[in-house]
Each structure stands twice: as C-alpha cells, then as structure tokens.
Structure 1
Amino acid sequence: MKLFNKEKDSRGCMRFSFLGLLFFIIASLIIIINPIKLIVDDQLSLRPGSLLFKLWEKPPLEVFIRVYAYNITNFENFYKGIDKKIKLEEVGPYVYQEFLENHNASFSTEHNTVTFQPTRRVKFIREMSIGDPKSDRITVPNIPYMGVTTAVSEFSLLGAIAVRTLMRTLRSQVILNNITVDEYFWGYDDPLVSLASKIIPNVIHFKKFGLLDRMFDEGKNTVTMNLPHKSKSNNIDAPISERLVSNDEYNDEQRESFDTIVDVLKNIEPEQQEYEKPFIPLIRDFSIDNFNGQKGLKQWGYAENNPYGNSECNTLAGTYDGTLFPRNITEGETFRIYRKTFCRTLPIVYSHPGEVDGVEAYFFKLADNAFDSNIDDPQSSCFCRRGVCLRKGLGNITPCYYNIPAAVSFPHFYNGDPSLLDSIEGLDPSEEKHGSEIVLQPQLGIPMKVRSRIQLNLLMGEIKFNSDMRPFRNIVLPIIWIDMGVESLTPGLLFLLYLLFSILPYAQITLIIILYAGGIAAFLKAILYIRWIPNRMRHLHEKALEITSIPAGVCKVPIVIVSGPAILSLDNKRLSIGGGKILEEEMKCLTSTSFNEDDDEFEDHEVLGTDISRIHY
C-alpha cells in the first residue's frame, strides 16, 4: 500500500520555486522597464498619430476671451475743461470663444523640428456676455483719428498741420458717440481708414477699423517649433542651465548661427569681450525656432548677423506659443510667451505648486514687470524706442499697429506707475481682478488653467495744432481690456490626466506588490515541501491510529485514508497509520492482519454484529 510519493513531492517543490522566481522576475522587469512611462513617452511624443499630436493639432481646451470696453461718461465736460479728469465706465464682459487649429504640420528629421500654420477663429457666446454687442452702445475714442494725430505730431509740424486739415476735410471726429459695441470691436466706417485703404492698399488692406478685428487678424503665419531630441534625456534633476542641447545635437542652421557668433567674437577686442557677451537663447523642447522664417523681432532691433545687438527681449528663438511647454517642468522656472497680437514676448514666472481638479499643477503668472521697459535691462531695453522708455507698467506695441502710439499693460494699470491714474476716474486696479495666472501640468507641460489679462491703451503725447485733441495731451487712455482664459479642462482631457497620473501609476505599483507577494508565497510553499511536511509526518506517526485485539471474524474497524507522505506499520495486534493529510474517515473491513506497504488496495468485507467496543484509537 503506497501512501507516499517522494517524486511527486519533489515536483511540487520545483513547481512552486519556479513560480516564485517567475513572479520576482516579472515584478523586477516592470520596475526596470517601467511600461507606463514607455507608453506615456510614446503617446506624448509629437509625431503623426500620437495622442499628443491629436491634442496639439486641434486643442480640446475651451478658450474664452472676455472683452471689456471703457465707456466715456463725461466727454462734454472733460472737453470743455469743466472736469479735470476723464471718467470711464467699464462695460462688459462680451465673451468670445476662440478655436485654434494647427494646420499643414511638416516634420523635419534633419532639424528635429515641426513647421505648421496656426489658425484662430472666434465665436460670440451670448449666454456668457453682459449684453448684445450689436445693440449696446458706448462713447469711445476714434482710434485712427487720435493715433494718426499723435504720431504725426511727434515728427513734423507741417505734417501735423496737414493731418489736421485732412481731418476737417474728411469730417473725422475725435470721439465716436453712440457707436455699437460690435462696430467698435469688429469694424466701423472711418473716412481716414477708407482713404488710406485706397492710397496704400498693401499696408491698409481693410476698409473698416475694428479693435478686435485688427488685434486678432494675425494673417497667415508659419511657425517652426523645436521637438525633443531622442538622444537627450530630459533630466529634471539637472539645473536649468545644463539642459541646453549639446553641440552635436544642434541642427545645421543652429550650428551655422553659432559659427557666425564665433567668427564675430574673433574680431572683438579682449576688453570688449570681457564686458559684452552675445545673447544665446536657451533652446528647449517645444520652443519656437523661428516665426515666419525670423528668429527675432526686427521691429525691436533683432539682427541675424549681429549677436551683440540682440537680447532676450527681441529674440523669438527659445520662446513658446503658449500651447505646449517642455515636459518635466521644475519649480522656479521662467518662460517667455510670444503671440503676434501683443507685438512682444511676455515672461511668465513660477509662483507656487498646487492642484487643479486633483491633478498636480504648477502655478505661474505674468511677471510683475512684464510690460516694463528699462534701458539698462537686457530683457526689456529693446522696447525703449530711440532711447526713450515708457512709464512703468506700459509695454510699447506701436511698431505692430501702423505706428499708432499704443501700449499694452495690466488692466486698470495694475502694477503700473501711479501717475497713470492721475487723469482718469473709474479705474480700480487689484491683483484678484487684474492679475494673471497660468497653470501648467509639470509632467506633461500643458496648460490646465489660464487667466491672461491685458489692456490696450492709446499713448497721447504733445499734440500740436489740433485743438480738438488738446484735452487729451500726455494722457495714456485705456481703450479695452481682455481676459483670455481657460477655465477648466474638458472631461476627456481631465480623465486622461487622471489615467496617466493617478490610475495607471498606482495600478502598476499594486501589480508589482502582488507579484512580489505571490513570489514570496510560492517560495514559502516550496520550503514547506522540503522542511515542514516531513517533520509533520513524523509527528503524526506518533499519534497514529491504534487497532488492538483484532480477533478472527472481527473486521469492522475504523481506517483513516491518507494522502501524501505516510508511514505504515503493522504488527500482530497494532496497526499504525501516520502522516499525510486526512481526506476522509470511513469504516473499512480488514480481511487480513498482514499486508505489504506496496499494496495499493486491500479487500474489504463487512461483517454484521461486530463488537466495536474493543476497537480504539
């Protein structure tokens, strides 16, 4: 009777050992390979067909532009000199939704860039607006009239007299009374603009003038953006200054530019080299390489072959269009944003860490001096035209808007020179209402929430030979201010972020723990086969069943059926069965008091009336 199989037990030990080792290997490979990171890196690379490409090509963000106009409430009294200050009433918001699409994406493997054409369109959202812009009416300055008059006064007395004569002939007015908001935003008839469109159609290609129409008519632009280098790891622990692309990773055009810089340096005297250093932009993932073929803003003095004349404020290379930023952003970083509408690059600086809808986020804001110009500051010195800088808080945009003296600022002159408020009533600057906020997801480098607030102003200088404009001399007159914002992520994009940063990483960690726990359990099972079970068998043998006094004819005895290793001993009066796992207990009949250990079976015959009181165990 064979109750134990050592070969079978050995196989069981090997089976559990192999299973435990397999679990450990799989868990270790998951840690080393990090499949979640591989999937994320693959889908978040900007290439045709990737998830990031689909999000970038047609961003699912809901971008709303809230526009506020300044209604002049006391023009007659101010014009006559009765009121010393012009009174403004903020009217709005009038809300428009902006839709961005990036078309004609062309990837260059040689330069590791993508070239594309961004297009934007807006749609009026009535339910989010304060009223109907086609019926709401306001009193506002006539921008072409004021702008041209001021511009000409700065250059020539004869020009100022000629413009004044022309204005009277065309019957242009300084102030637009009772004009609809829609006309003011998207186009109203002005005789000066109509005349200019006929004389210089290549410059003035529109017959009506509208503020938003001019601001958002950016034309057809071609942008080239730098892509991440596959050979360059994105070392988030390295200092920002060490994240420059190495020399062997620069494309041919970049190397040619730097070779030019080196050639220039060779011709510079050592004393000059000691005090003057050429500006070399920090080229990072998804930064702009060039805009319409230009790496800088020529209107602010950028020159391709004059590195010493370039600075951070007039260089486009290394800036961002605001849709994508580098992945793995660290605290304390600063980025410069460029949008053609604002005629300049604007710095955003790190504020603090936080969360948006439960997802990790870094909060940035427009720098407090984002619109300042300082002749001694390389980040803003180029904005000082002919060596003259505007007052604190004003950013010159005159070269981009037909040389009409204009400037951008924070709304209500927040963070601006206090003197800007001296001639105006109705403004109340505050950080909460007029500050900015840009929230980025640091691992992905995508905007999660945006509140970018900017005001457009007319710069009134020393106006000559025009009595109608005399009350506005040396005033910076607010016209409108806009709040460009992304309130929240779309549900689909929010779920994607949860999946990438909350669900998948924890699922992977849980799987690793389960695999390691399963491996440990399998190894313990194998150890039991080797050590614990044989010891248990010997213990059970000592407590084996005892069957005594088995006379002839008595055959109804209790037998314990066992499995696994067991020890069977038999003598004339005692049957001992020990070891193994008890499966069942039944009444069997022993027909013989002797059988061999190798017997697999034994016959049983039931005998009725057996006295079982003599049988014990």
Structure 2
Amino acid sequence: MKDATSIWAQLSAMVNESPGGEAKSLRRNSSVVVNRFFGNAVPLRADGRPNWSRRIFFLMTIGLMGLVTGCLLLFLQPYEALFKWKATFGPGGEIYEIWRLPPVDLYLKVYLFNITNHEKYINGKDFKLKFEQIGPYVYKELLEHGNVTFNDNGTVTAVPFHPLQFIPQLSNGTEEDIVIMPNIALLSIANVIKDASMITRWGLNVLIRQTDSKPLVHMTAKEFMFGYKSTLVTLGNNVMPSWIKFDRLGLIDRMYDFKGDIETVYTGETDARLTGLIDKYNGAETLPQWPGECANVQGASDGAKFQSYIEPNQTLKFFRKSLCRSAIMVRTGEKVVKGLYSYKYKFRDHELDNGQINPENKCFCRQDFCLPYGLVDVTDCYYGFPIALSYPHFFESDPTLLNAVEGLNPNPKEHESYFYIQPKSGIPVDLAFRFQINMALQDISSIENVDGFSNLVLPLLWFEIGMYELPDYLNTKFFFYLNILPIMQEIAIYGLFLAGTICLVWSVTKILTYRPANTSISSQWLDSELQRKRMNYLNDKPISRNSKKLDMYFNSLLSTKDEEILEPSALEELVNLKEAIV
C-alpha cells in the first residue's frame, strides 16, 4: 500500500492546476479534507481548527496554576505561620495552655543523707561522718501559672504555684521514717553568731545549754523536709524577729515557698523565639541575692517551656527558685524521644565554679567569701542559713568535699542533670534537674556543742525534679504538628511543581511535535465529503477540461472502497490523470 501522504501530494498538485475559483475553493478546504481523510491523531472541528485546542489550553492553565501555587507555598510557608500562631501565648492558645497548666507528670524525688555513726562521731571515736542515702520520697508537683494577666508589651504576668502530693507507691519508704540529721537550726545560728561579740556568743551558749540542743537529732523524714518544731528556732523567732521570721524549719518547704512571687514571661508576639521565657521575676530582671551578671534571669526558662527555634550551637538559660540563680546549659547531643527529635542539654562545664576557673562567676562569692569549687552559696535564699548547693554526691566538685565524709559515690548517670528539648517548639520531652543541698559551715568552735563541725560541708539531701515523658495524647499532637505537617507542606509544594511542569511540558510538546498519523480512510465520511464538494463545484462553476477530469476522478473515488484507494492502480490512475491535466 502506498503512503497516504504521497497520494495527497499528487492530489494537491492536480487541484492546484484547476482553473478559476474552483481551485482556490478546493485549496482552502484542503486541510479539512486531508486531516479528516488521513489522520485522527489530532481530530479537527468542522471549521478546520484543532479539536484539542480547548483541552490543551485547560492543561496549560492547570500547569501554570500549579507552578504559581507551589511558588506561593514556598514563599509564604503557611506551616511556619500556623506554627508561630499556635506557639504565641494568648487566651485559649494551645501552647499557652500547656504552659499555664502543664498536663504532664512532673515529679520531685528527694533522697536524704541519714547519718549512721552519730554517737561515735560526737564522742570523738570516728573522725568522719558516715552517710547513708535513703529514699527516694516521691512527690508529684502540680505546677500551675495562675492569676494570669496579659500586658500590653508582649508579656504575661502570672503567679507560680507548685503544690506537692506525696506518691507512696513510687517512694522507697514513708514520710514517717525516722532519720538522724544535722540540727539545721543550731548549726546555722552558730554559724551566724560566730563573729558576734563575746557577750552575744555567751548568750547563745547559755540558750543552747538550757534547750539542750544537739548538733545531730532524730526526726521523721517529713519533718526534715517540710519543717519541724525547734525550741531554739522558736526562741530565736522571739529574740531576733528581724532575722528569724518563722517557727518551723524545712528545706523542701523553703524550696517550694512561692508565696508572693510573680513571674512575667514573653508571649512571643514580638519574637516567637522568646515565647515562655522569663522577662522579670518579682518585677525585676535581676535577683536581689547577687551583683552584676550573676543576678540576671531575663531570658531564662523555668522548665515549663524553653526557647523556640533553638539553633544547634545555642546555649540556654535555666532558672528555678530552688537553685537561687540562673544556670547556663549547653547542647551535648541529640536523640529521638517517642518520635520527637530533640536536643540533649546539660549544665555547662564549671557552671558551679566561684571564679576559680571562670572569672565571670566571681560574683557568686557572697560578701567576698568564696566557697570551694562546685558549691553555690545560697544563704540569702534559705532563711539566711549557711546553705550551699552542689551536684548530688559532690559530683564534679572539689575532691576535698568528698574526702571529708563517707558514704557518697558520685556518678554521672545518676547525678548529672539532663534536658531533652524539642528545638522548634522548645517543649521539654524528658528532663531531670538534680541538685544537692548542703550546709557549708565555717569556724564555729566558739559555740557550745558544735565544735566538731567547724569548716565542714554537710550533705543534707539531694533532689531530682523530673518529667520523663510527654503524655501519649500530647506526644501524638506534637508529632503531627512537628513531623507530619511539614512533610505535607513539602509534598504539596513539590507535587504542585511537578504536576504543573508535566502539564506545561506535555502541552507544549504536543503542539510542537504534532505530525498526522498514517491511518485507514473512513469511506463513509469520504463519500459524503467528496460528493458535497463535487456538487458545489458543478453548481458554482462551468465545467472545464480539468474540472471534468477531476469530477471523473472524484466519481471514481466515490465508487471505490477504502482499502482500494491505497492500491497501486489507484495511484497510477491519479498520476495519469495529473499528466492529462497538465
């Protein structure tokens, strides 16, 4: 069979030789005849226009819309806008509500250092006090930021509440356990009066003898933690009301005394990174206990929420009233906690130095008296008593502190603080804040009954405030916000780019590469089309020699089947006819 295009070339040449308007008429409609006669790859309308033009226009429009929408998503980043909106504190806001009333299990674990050789030490038979760690006594901390007031400068003011609830099933022991602990009242008053006049010291010694106060006393675990009655303290409250303004003494009780405290934090309206961080504590950016930069707490976190959008090498600041200062944290690693990517933080090296290594920490020396490395003097935060903080079991502290006592065994796994923080939201997903409370005594040999305790640092207890995982529903919510939504946005952006590009490329390629396809002839259409043109031709123009032969040829085509037209005989007839016309 002959190529259809070849037949058309010969037919076109013959038609071009037709005289007058009939040739022009046939040429004008030749594209319609050919495309309908030989091709259906790109069907045409009755007027000769491609039938696919509307479809191509539609696809090109879809392609352009996909590219434009993808560019808008890439430029506007709707996920980031949504996340910042949710992270900003406001009435009813999601992250705000988590900060206001954290729906997490926050626990306080307290370990007491029970003295096991008190009689031998008092009698001078042992030269070191021996301590036995007991506990933990576990309490659930019901943290809440109450009495919230939103301010006009992008901050919110609240009163912190930290009520504790004893959890016996998680505790190793009961609050009624009998322990032997240092008499904080006696030792503290002795440390305060040591430099007083002789008459004052004599009066204190008389008071000690009358009350029969001992340096080591029996009491329950609860009394030591949350306050016990002391005749010496009661008398001191009457004699020295300007100093001793209490009649019960307890260390944990003091740690959780938030009465009258006010905390002002950033809402994130002006800077989303600062959401939840402290602007002022008790109306000031600094603590009254310290001078200079040591006093600054602005930009610190109280542990409920840390900074948002944390950079990999960025340091964080942590503040807790029990610490009586802010502390710098550094990133030490990373970890996925229940599907949430998080940075691991710990307190930076030498953070509890008092200027021996880091000169900037010199301001933590109280009244120009610096405690040994690893101790923080928090006297002004604990009744004015000589209380010092360290890491548990004197971890990362001056070795002389550990050598002076027996029974303490520091190790980083149990005694080092850690914080796992989701960097984008600033939400802690696992943390344990660990510190030890000690008595840092100076030379108190001039005071009755306490001469064997001069220049000692006595470990009293250590505590861990921990939140070890987010509740499942909260973890799932953050997993969706932090993991799923960003991926959905990326899929949408690149999906729109890809779909738009494919639609545009396909449309342009279809237009530029179109060629009529070789197909069989539709005889039914051809019969009607040629008959119509023949009749128009005969009615409009006189018959010339060429037109008669064309008419004869068209008639022969009308009487010929589709499959015969492409036979060699038809082609030969066409060639002969062309020669005759010429």
Q: Does 1:572 align with 2:559?
A: yes
Mark the CA change 1:201 to 1:471 in structure 2 (over 3 Å): closer, same or farther: closer
Mark the CA change 1:84 to 1:367 in structure 2 (over 3 Å): closer, same or farther: same
Q: Does 1:51 align with 2:69?
A: no
Q: Secondary structure at the match of 2:450?
A: helix
- What's the counterpart of residue 306 of structure 1? none
Contact 1:393–1:413 under 8 Å retained in 2: yes
Q: Secondary structure at the match of 1:19?
A: helix
- What's the counterpart of residue 290 of structure 1? 280
Q: Does 1:468 align with 2:480?
A: no
2:517 to 525, 528, 538: 538
Give the alignment's TM-score, normalised by structure 2: 0.78
- What's the counterpart of residue 534 of structure 2? none
RMSD: 2.7
- What's the counterpart of residue 454 of structure 1? 435
2:122 to 76, 79, 82: 79
- What's the counterpart of residue 63 of structure 2? 20
- What's the counterpart of residue 214 of structure 2? 173
Contact 1:319–1:335 under 8 Å retained in 2: yes
- What's the counterpart of residue 222 of structure 2? 182
Contact 1:94–1:131 under 8 Å retained in 2: yes
1:112 to 146, 154, 162: 154
Matches within 5 A, 1:331-480: 331-374=312-355, 377=358, 379-480=360-461
Q: Shift of residue 396 of structure 1?
A: 0.2
Q: Secondary structure at the match of 1:424?
A: coil
**CA distance, structure 1, for counterparts of residue 416 and residue 86 of structure 2:** 35
Contact 2:99–2:276 under 8 Å retained in 1: no
Contact 1:375–1:389 under 8 Å retained in 2: no
AA paired with 1:168? R
**CA distance, structure 2, for counterparts of residue 41 and residue 148 of structure 1:** 53
AA paired with 1:128? L
Contact 2:44–2:50 under 8 Å retained in 1: no
AA paired with 1:76? E
**CA distance, structure 1, for counterparts of residue 357 and residue 50 of structure 2:** 88
Q: Deviations over 1:218-276 (max 9, x none)?
A: 2121122234463x686xxxxxxxxxxxxxxxxxxxxxxxxxxxxxxxxxxxxxxxxxx
Answer with 380-389 or 522-531: which moved more.
522-531
Mark the CA change 1:10 to 1:145 in structure 2 (over 3 Å): closer, same or farther: same
How many residues are aligned here? Answer: 492
**CA distance, structure 1, for counterparts of residue 298 and residue 482 of structure 2:** 31
Q: Does 1:124 align with 2:166?
A: yes
Q: Does 1:191 align with 2:191?
A: no
Mark the CA change 1:168 to 1:233 in structure 2 (over 3 Å): closer, same or farther: closer
Contiguous gaps of at least 5 residues in structure 2? 1-32, 37-42, 528-555, 566-582
Contact 2:191–2:386 under 8 Å retained in 1: yes
**CA distance, structure 1, for counterparts of residue 490 and residue 300 of structure 2:** 37
**CA distance, structure 1, for counterparts of residue 50 and residue 309 of structure 2:** 57
Q: Shift of residue 333 of structure 1?
A: 2.3
Larger Rg over CA atoms = 2
Mark the CA change 1:12 to 1:117 in structure 2 (over 3 Å): closer, same or farther: same
Contact 2:89–2:275 under 8 Å retained in 1: no
Q: Does 1:149 align with 2:190?
A: yes
AA paired with 2:255? M
Contact 2:300–2:318 under 8 Å retained in 1: yes
**CA distance, structure 1, for counterparts of residue 339 and residue 163 of structure 2:** 31
Contact 2:297–2:325 under 8 Å retained in 1: no
Contact 1:455–1:479 under 8 Å retained in 2: yes
**CA distance, structure 2, for counterparts of residue 577 and residue 36 of structure 1:** 67
Q: Does 1:315 align with 2:357?
A: no
Contiguous gaps of at least 5 residues in structure 1? 235-283, 302-309, 551-568, 579-617
Give the alignment's TM-score, normalised by structure 1: 0.74
AA paired with 1:153? K
Answer with 465-474 or 455-464: which moved more.
465-474
Mark the CA change 1:9 to 1:334 in structure 2 (over 3 Å): closer, same or farther: closer
AA paired with 1:146? L
Q: Shift of residue 95 of structure 1?
A: 0.8
Q: Shift of residue 421 of structure 1?
A: 1.9
**CA distance, structure 1, for counterparts of residue 263 and residue 484 of structure 2:** 36
Contact 1:313–1:378 under 8 Å retained in 2: no
AA paired with 1:514? G
Contact 2:445–2:454 under 8 Å retained in 1: no
Q: Does 1:330 align with 2:311?
A: yes
Q: Shift of residue 445 of structure 1?
A: 1.8
% same residue: 30
Q: Secondary structure at the match of 1:539?
A: coil
Q: Shift of residue 57 of structure 1?
A: 0.9
**CA distance, structure 2, for counterparts of residue 521 and residue 387 of structure 1:** 75
**CA distance, structure 2, for counterparts of residue 156 and residue 478 of structure 1:** 29
- What's the counterpart of residue 223 of structure 1? 263
Contact 1:93–1:130 under 8 Å retained in 2: yes
Q: Secondary structure at the match of 1:300?
A: coil
- Higher share of residues assigned helix: 2
AA paired with 1:217? D
Contact 1:287–1:318 under 8 Å retained in 2: yes
- What's the counterpart of residue 175 of structure 2? 133
- What's the counterpart of residue 213 of structure 1? 253
**CA distance, structure 2, for counterparts of residue 496 and residue 157 of structure 1:** 67
AA paired with 1:399? D
